[in-house]
Structure 1
Amino acid sequence: MASIGTLWTTPIQTSGKRIKAAAALGGLKLDKPASYKHYEDNKKPEFLSKFASGKVPAFEGADGFTLFEGGAIARYVASLAPNSGLLGNTPQERALVEQWISYLETEIAAPVRFSVRMLGGAWPYNKPADQLHRDLLPRPLKVLDEHLATRTYLVGERITLADLTVGMVMVVAYEQIIDKKTRDQYPNLHRLYETIREHPQLKAIWGPTEYIDAPKQYTPPAKAPKEPKEPKAPKAAAPKAEKAPKKEAEEEDDDDNGVPPEPKAKHPLDELPKSTFNLEDWKRAYSNMETKGPGGSIEWFNERFDPEGFSVWRVDFKYNEELTQTFMSSNQISGFFNRLEGARKYLFGSMGVLGENNNSIITGVLICRGKDYKPVVEFAPDWESYSFQPLDYKGADKDFFESALAWDLEIDGKKWAAGKNFK
């Protein structure tokens, strides 16, 4: 069997395993690179000349065609096996496959990834944000479970890329967040998961699942042992001399009998100098005033905005070619905003879907605390799926800014179809 190309990935990367699973079901052969050391080889010029992002999974076809981003590679590999039905066999099935892939990645994978990154120390731990993202899971899990109550697979009568996405997404949830008690609440979803993971052609690719008995919780790093105290010289006798040693002993007992509480970490944005622009006042003005025209919220904004304490950004979804139904794209914005909950006091947003079904884009405006958008939006694990450009809201970008706030923005003939606010 001739190889369709070479796949760069890591042994534990779930998105790479989904690509391998798609190839296996499609009867396609993927080669491994002759050698690959992660964090080293993907930073070398020869790798970056093919894959500018420096990310894996990365794919190079036998014809020299190159791709990065796991989702794009999985869809491409699935498309090379047209008789497999991995992408669906009709336009309706293809749309449903895309619907469930998007739903799994935005409503389950994203909040799970957020908590897991904090648990692993990749991000500073914040208990309310962790719990918030865990609390987002029951609803989409229930939606999937109820859909599968009368079906073997998510779409049609054969395995599709949507089912392989269940195998990719849920393994992290089952090994980190979802314990047996919770797992038992969604038996149909778990049945599909085991069907995909135990499939004879895929079992060796997926590997075993290490199910948990209890959800994993954050464990603070161990503190360094305290330096022993040097003995103090005895004090001269005096009326109050006996009380001093007693107080010292009490202090030492307090130190020895309990670990002092760890100081609550402050977000860097909380350390910025106080701004004259009140974001909460702006949110109220935007909600209660007409947007454009004399006395409108835009006029209110222009009179009070503090460019030293805040910044304005245009945000665009990077993968508009993957968008299908406009209502699904609108739901995607909602999911992105839900995952930004931890940034509520630092952020205002107005984003929308422009265009029509199968020909649309996602774009809009964010107003962020500080001069940089990243400390604000990285609350959402999928923030890298969007590009950010500073806006000259009073100058060259005035029309874009005001129209995005007023929900009448039009770009290249694509009119505003649906909008969402983050307030």
Structure 2
Amino acid sequence: MALILHAGKTNKNSFKTLIAAEYSGIDVKLADISKWALIEQWIDFATLEIDANIISWVRPRMGRSVYLPPAEEATIAALKRALGSLNTHLANSTYLVGHSVTLADIVMTMNLFLGFTYLMTKSFTSEFPHVERYFWTMVNQPNFKKVMGEVKQTESVLPIPSKKPSQPKEAKPKAKDEPKKKSRKSLQNQSRGC
């Protein structure tokens, strides 16, 4: 039985392994990594296009950064573009890569989780029906349910905090810390002593 090496065909480190295997008489085959490349591509997309925008949207609403309406609008627009691309891909696919769950699906689903549970109401996600189907298919997989339990979609967007983050107050010097003002009489006495 051959061992499988997951590496590029022109990678110097894979050459080291293959040459050592030849000298050792061990059968090592290179795996077709074209599927792995797609998994990496979707993990990057899930992180940079989905997760980054959801986090940018939720942080101000959790009071962890300043809420700026124009910034939120831009974030939502970027997220909608990303979800549109994802929706197009999922129109003909159950999973991101191949015909079963991969690491790309786990990462994508977890990155969508925060959005579905705090921000993206049914009216928001209904614009992306294939993303909705995908998300609910994934979170209802036995292995997801075992870890996450029952997942519910938010009914309303997390509200904007009503109070502004507290600013540190400047400490007023205590009366005893202030330098004592010398009386005119003590100043005169000091000047005579010189």
Secondary structure of the equivalent of 1:216? coil
In structure 2, the partner of 1:271 is none
| Residues 37-48 of structure 1 aligned to structure 2 (within 5 Å) | none
Taking only aligned residues, the RMSD between alpha carbons, in angstroms, comes to 1.9
Looking at structure 1, the residues matched to 69 and 144 of structure 2 have their Cα atoms a distance apart, in angstroms, of: 37
Amino acid across the alignment from 1:212: T
Q: CA deviation at 1:100?
A: 0.7
Looking at structure 1, the residues matched to 81 and 114 of structure 2 have their Cα atoms a distance apart, in angstroms, of: 18
In structure 2, the partner of 1:160 is 102
- 1:211 to 2:168 alignment: no
Looking at structure 2, the residues matched to 130 and 217 of structure 1 have their Cα atoms a distance apart, in angstroms, of: 13
Residue deviations 1:63-102 (CA, integer Å, cap 9, x gap): xxxxxxxxxxxxxxxxxxxxxxxxxx73111111011110
- 1:169 to 2:111 alignment: yes
TM-score, structure 2 as length reference: 0.64
Larger Rg: 2
Question: Of the candidates 31, 36, 45, which is equivalent to residue 103 of structure 1?
Answer: 45
Secondary structure of the equivalent of 2:113? helix
Amino acid across the alignment from 1:115: W
In structure 2, the partner of 1:314 is none
- 1:182 to 2:124 alignment: yes
Amino acid across the alignment from 1:211: Q
Looking at structure 2, the residues matched to 157 and 108 of structure 1 have their Cα atoms a distance apart, in angstroms, of: 22
- The 1:149/1:131 distance shift into structure 2, 3 A limit, reads same
Looking at structure 2, the residues matched to 188 and 200 of structure 1 have their Cα atoms a distance apart, in angstroms, of: 20
Residue deviations 1:149-205 (CA, integer Å, cap 9, x gap): 111111011110111112201110112221101211212112121121111122121
Looking at structure 2, the residues matched to 181 and 116 of structure 1 have their Cα atoms a distance apart, in angstroms, of: 18
Q: CA deviation at 1:125?
A: 2.0
Looking at structure 2, the residues matched to 152 and 90 of structure 1 have their Cα atoms a distance apart, in angstroms, of: 22
| Residues 113-128 of structure 1 aligned to structure 2 (within 5 Å) | 113-128=55-70
Residue deviations 1:313-339 (CA, integer Å, cap 9, x gap): xxxxxxxxxxxxxxxxxxxxxxxxxxx
| Residues 375-386 of structure 1 aligned to structure 2 (within 5 Å) | none
Residue deviations 1:325-358 (CA, integer Å, cap 9, x gap): xxxxxxxxxxxxxxxxxxxxxxxxxxxxxxxxxx
Give the fraction of aligned pairs with identical amino acids, expressed as a percent: 29
Q: Are the equivalent residues in 1 in contact too, given 2:63–2:161 (CA < 8 A)?
A: no
Residue deviations 1:249-297 (CA, integer Å, cap 9, x gap): xxxxxxxxxxxxxxxx9xxxxxxxxxxxxxxxxxxxxxxxxxxxxxxxx
Residue deviations 1:84-129 (CA, integer Å, cap 9, x gap): xxxxx73111111011110111111101101211111111222221
In structure 2, the partner of 1:70 is none
- The 1:90/1:157 distance shift into structure 2, 3 A limit, reads farther
Q: Unpaired runs of 5+ in structure 2?
A: 1-30, 168-194
In structure 2, the partner of 1:90 is 32
Q: Are the equivalent residues in 1 in contact too, given 2:62–2:161 (CA < 8 A)?
A: no
Looking at structure 1, the residues matched to 144 and 120 of structure 2 have their Cα atoms a distance apart, in angstroms, of: 23
Greater relative CO (CA pairs within 8 A, separation 6+): 2
Amino acid across the alignment from 1:182: F
Amino acid across the alignment from 2:43: I
Q: Unpaired runs of 5+ in structure 1?
A: 1-88, 223-264, 266-423
In structure 2, the partner of 1:129 is 71
In structure 2, the partner of 1:148 is 90
Q: Which has the higher helix share?
A: 2
Q: CA deviation at 1:215?
A: 2.4
TM-score, structure 1 as length reference: 0.30
Paired positions, count = 135
Q: Which has the higher strand share?
A: 1
Q: CA deviation at 1:220?
A: 1.6
Looking at structure 1, the residues matched to 142 and 159 of structure 2 have their Cα atoms a distance apart, in angstroms, of: 34
Looking at structure 1, the residues matched to 160 and 127 of structure 2 have their Cα atoms a distance apart, in angstroms, of: 24
- The 1:183/1:193 distance shift into structure 2, 3 A limit, reads same
Amino acid across the alignment from 1:156: G
